[in-house]
Amino acid sequence: MAADNKRLGSLSQWLTYAGLTVAGLAAAFPFVWMILSSFMTRGETLRRVFVPQVVQWANYIEAWKEEDFSLYFENSLWIALFVVVGTLLFSLMAAYPLARMEFRGRDSVFLVILATLMVPETVTMVPNFLTVSWLHRVSPIPWLNNWPALTIPFMVSAFSIFLLRQFMRGIPGELYEAARIDGAGHLRFLFQIVLPLCRAPLLTVGMFTFIGSWNALGWPLLVTNTPHWRPIAVGLQKFVTEAGPEVHLQMAGAVIATLPVLVIYALVQKEFTEGISMSGLKG
Amino acid sequence: MKNNTPTELVAAFLLVLISLAACGEQEGVQKQHAVSLESIDPTGQEIVFWYQHVRAREEALQEMIAQFNVGNPHKIKVRGEFAGGYDDIYNKMVVGLQGGAIPDLLVAYQGQALEYYLADGTVDLRPYIASEKWGLSEAQEADFVPAFMAQDRIRDGIQTGLPPNRSIEVIYYNVDWLRELGADGPPQTWDEFARLCRAARDAPFSGNLNQERSLGFILDEDASRLAAMVFSRGGNFLNSASDRYTLDTPEATASLQLMKELVADGSVEMMGESYGDQTAFNVGECLFILRSTSGLPFVQEGVGSGADFDWDVAPPPHTTTKPVVNFYGASISVGRTTPEQQLAAWLFLKWFTEPPQQALWVRASNYFPARLSTRDLLEDYFAANPRYRHAYELLYYGMPEPALAGYNGVRRMISKAVVKVVQGGDIAPTLQRLQREANATLEDY
């Protein structure tokens, strides 16, 4: 009986691993295909071969040089940096009172913030554009074709506030009491005690924000007309001509565009997983 | 409208609202028209041109813009800006209409141009064409392919855009494979086409780089493909007054019936990936594809890097006495800005559509020119590109797709109907519903 159970256990484990391996391969396949295609000639992509005969490093050079790609890459880095820093700051400061402070209407405010998650981006596009256009006219810094229109509207994220609030609610009240005895107010408690404890969810928020900002295409096309501040997604789009995509260059561009996300994910992988599980997002 | 994406739904709703608002301002608009064009001075205007071209076409266009900027006597400066694909430009324009940020010139398909015009975002070009000082002479206007100009003309002679170029839908066919199948030329009728598709399924091309797959045709669900088939059977997507969709017709039924049968017997497949038909053709897997002539250089390059066979283009098979080909292409509209900017935009547009510039543009883009006399400047190009010449000669058999506001959304409905039928849906109820829903969109405008 015990042997049967053991056999069943190992069979179940084997099946689990087999299933996970298949799922892992399926998840990895598009990346492998992207990398292999990025080293092919155009003819090889047309013939749909899987492995390039001769590795075409020149695709990367061509992709980098073509269509202002290097400029778009740099723009994306700056835009993502601004958005991540802004989102972390504003989300932290919004989540803290919602999690730790008692005031009238707190839950209603939180509900309103949560409700904005249900509004599709398409619906907010026009009001956002009108606001940005108005700010462009009245502000000393031009907003359109410039970093403010690309970054400031995205520095407040309901999802990030929600995620941080969930985590902050788990911080023991005794910590605040102890800080108060030491003479700390809310702001000092937030930045000296809560902030270091929030490392994992903050990195998670940072990661999500970075990916969202890095992949943005629709809004940047709307608020920019010149390459000066256009992000990398626009550069990738330019490899799709009206009469067919230049897959080899597009994939080389995609590899370049994916690298920063992969590097950042590799750096924060542990905290990212922790952040997800500790904030109650994981079932 | 339920077939549209959320973005397009919102965009269409906004355009309807803007159009309604624009109705109340017609008086003001009329006043602007009343300002004599002859007295306007466009000197020194800076204008913005939104286009969708990338890579080689964009480079050529930018060179031409630079040439205009240096050479025009009014010191007009044009700034060409890539604004995304056609749909991106549409979204940008719809949002720009709300925010008061519209370009001086923009690329638009006829249905889109009409929507912009109704929303007061673009101007009627007729006064500019007719202007003694700035316009086109009778000979110059007559030099535009009449059918191209007519595409951009709506009620009362209002001209919503000017065509810089057009393309047509042609059959690309593998000459070597046809020979192997015992055919001495491309199919002239749809029955012959079906027979050759089945023959291609059973007898793969000797040069096929993937012998496991052999097909007669790959069907792209794009509305232009169905339009080409319907036109070639003598049908149309519009009624005789060109104000209602006629999508439930014997010609559409016959076209879908044939495709359904060929897909069912394995000689035709639906296209599974973007440009998948072109890829299959390049490697010798597929005998025919139905595509735009603007893809000629890409097929040439693809076949050269692929199975490297002899190929050519022909009009789609037809049941009409003479072939009928679907022609299309985006035009350029002038945004409603200031009288000076509008005139400057017009002057660039006029210059861009003059034969010498047209000839340059053809060489860079492989589109067909909109001006007939451009042909005289392209003799060497015709000689070097015989397939282009074959296709160009078909222009005289051209027939356009609908130029109604909201046609973009209808195109998506058509694509869904094609997929539904080919996947086993009943043709009659599908087309009845398609026609009903397509005509319902007209009530939005």
Instruction: Give DSSP secondary structure letters for B369-406.
Output: ESBGGGGGGGHHHHHH-HHHHHHHHGGGGEEEPP--TT
- The number of residues in chain A equals 283
Instruction: Tell whether A166 is within 8 A of chain B (Cβ).
Output: no
Residue A119: closest C-alpha in chain B? B6
Helix orientation angle between A247-278 and A69-100, rounded to the nearest 10 degrees: 10
The two tokens of residue B322 are 């003479």
ipTM: 0.72
**CB contact (8 A) between residue B283 and residue A47:** yes
Chain B residues lying within 8 Å of A129, measured CB to CB = 95-96, 98-99
pLDDT of A276 reads 66
Find tokens 């012959």 and name the residue. Answer: B192
Residues 131-160 of A with CB under 8 A from B: 133, 144
**CB contact (8 A) between residue B84 and residue A221:** yes
Q: Which of A33, A40, A44, A47 to mutate to test the interface with B (most CBs of B within 10 A)?
A: A47
Of A138, A151, A128, which is closest to residue A231 (Cα–Cα)?
A: A151
Distance from B137 to chain A by nearest Cα, in Å?
Answer: 33
Chain A residues lying within 8 Å of B82, measured CB to CB = 234, 238
Distance from A133 to chain B by nearest Cα, in Å?
Answer: 7
Chain B residues lying within 8 Å of A48, measured CB to CB = 210, 279, 283
- Select from A48, A123, A130 the Cβ nearest to the Cβ of B99: A130
| A49 exposure class (CB count in 10 Å sphere: 0-12, 13-18, 19+) | middle
**CB contact (8 A) between residue B99 and residue A46:** no
Q: Could you tell me how many CB contacts below 8 A there are between chain A and chain B?
A: 97
Chain A residues lying within 8 Å of B306, measured CB to CB = 43, 46-47
Q: Do domains B6-163+330-353 and B168-327+405-442 have the same CATH topology?
A: yes
Find tokens 């295609």 and name the residue. Answer: A37
* Beta-strand pair B165-174/B215-219: unpaired
Distance from B248 to chain A by nearest Cα, in Å?
Answer: 30
Return the ∠ at Cα A66 (arms to A63 and A70), rounded to 5°: 75
CB-based contacts of B70: which residues, under 8 Å, 6+ apart?
A: none
**CB contact (8 A) between residue A122 and residue B54:** no
Beta pairing partners, B82: B51
Q: Which of A33, A45, A48, A65 to mutate to test the interface with B (most CBs of B within 10 A)?
A: A48
pLDDT of B80 reads 94
Instruction: Give DSSP secondary structure letters for B311-376.
Output: EEEEPPP-SSSS--EEEE--EEEEBS--HHHHHHHHHHHHHHTSHHHHHHHHHHH-PEESBGGGGG
In the sheet with B331-334, reading across from the earlier edge strand, the strands are B77-82, B46-51, B105-108, B331-334
Task: Count CB neighbours of A24 within 10 A.
Answer: 11
**CB contact (8 A) between residue A241 and residue B298:** yes
CA distance B279 to B293: 16
Q: Which of B5, B7, B93, B293 to mutate to test the interface with A (most CBs of A within 10 A)?
A: B7
Residue B51: closest C-alpha in chain A? A225
B207 three-class SS: coil
Task: Count CB neighbours of B189 within 10 A.
Answer: 12
- Select from A218, A226, A241 the Cβ nearest to the Cβ of B54: A241
Residues of B with CB under 8 A from a CB of A: 6-7, 10, 14, 48, 50, 52-55, 57, 81-85, 88, 91-92, 95-96, 98-101, 209-210, 274-275, 278-279, 282-283, 292, 294-295, 297-298, 301-302, 304-306
**CB contact (8 A) between residue A242 and residue B99:** no
Ranges of residues in chain B whose predicted pLDDT is under 50:
1-4, 22-32
Distance from A129 to chain B by nearest Cα, in Å?
Answer: 7
Amino acid of residue B399: M
Domain A67-278: homologous superfamily in CATH = MetI-like (1.10.3720.10)
DSSP secondary structure letter of residue B38: G
Task: Count CB neighbours of A112 within 10 A.
Answer: 11
**CB contact (8 A) between residue A222 and residue B278:** no
**CB contact (8 A) between residue B279 and residue A48:** yes
**CB contact (8 A) between residue A126 and residue B305:** no
Of B278, B10, B294, B341, which is closest to residue B169 (Cα–Cα)?
A: B294
Distance from A22 to chain B by nearest Cα, in Å?
Answer: 23
Domain B6-163+330-353: homologous superfamily in CATH = Periplasmic binding protein-like II (3.40.190.10)
**CB contact (8 A) between residue A46 and residue B306:** yes
Instruction: Tell whether A30 is within 8 A of chain B (Cβ).
Output: no
* Beta-strand pair B311-314/B165-174: antiparallel
Chain B residues lying within 8 Å of A234, measured CB to CB = 82, 84
Cβ proximity of B129 and B276 under 8 Å: no
Chain A residues lying within 8 Å of B283, measured CB to CB = 46-48
CA distance A163 to A12: 35
Q: Over the stretch A21-49, which tens digit does the pLDDT of each residue have? A: 999 999 999 999 999 999 998 778 877 77
Find tokens 């097929």 and name the residue. Answer: B299
Beta pairing partners, B105: B49, B334
**CB contact (8 A) between residue B57 and residue A241:** yes
**What tens-digit pLDDT sequence spans chain A (283 residues)?**
667 777 777 888 899 999 999 999 999 999 999 999 999 987 788 777 788 888 899 899 888 887 678 889 999 999 999 999 999 999 999 999 998 888 899 999 999 999 988 888 878 888 888 899 889 989 899 998 899 999 999 998 899 999 899 888 888 888 888 888 888 888 888 888 888 888 888 988 898 999 999 988 889 988 888 888 999 888 888 776 655 667 888 899 889 888 888 888 888 887 777 766 665 555 4
DSSP secondary structure letter of residue B217: E
Classify domain B168-327+405-442 by CATH number: 3.40.190.10
pLDDT of B29 reads 44
Q: Spell out the domain ranges in chain B.
A: 6-163+330-353, 168-327+405-442
CA distance A282 to B17: 43
CA distance B281 to B175: 12
Amino acid of residue A98: L
Instruction: Tell whether A55 is within 8 A of chain B (Cβ).
Output: no
**CB contact (8 A) between residue A243 and residue B55:** no
Find tokens 């069943």 and name the residue. Answer: A8
**CB contact (8 A) between residue B84 and residue A234:** yes
The two tokens of residue A242 are 């009206």
**CB contact (8 A) between residue A242 and residue B294:** yes
CA distance A29 to A37: 12
Distance from B293 to chain A by nearest Cα, in Å?
Answer: 9
- Select from B14, B297, B298 the Cβ nearest to the Cβ of A126: B14
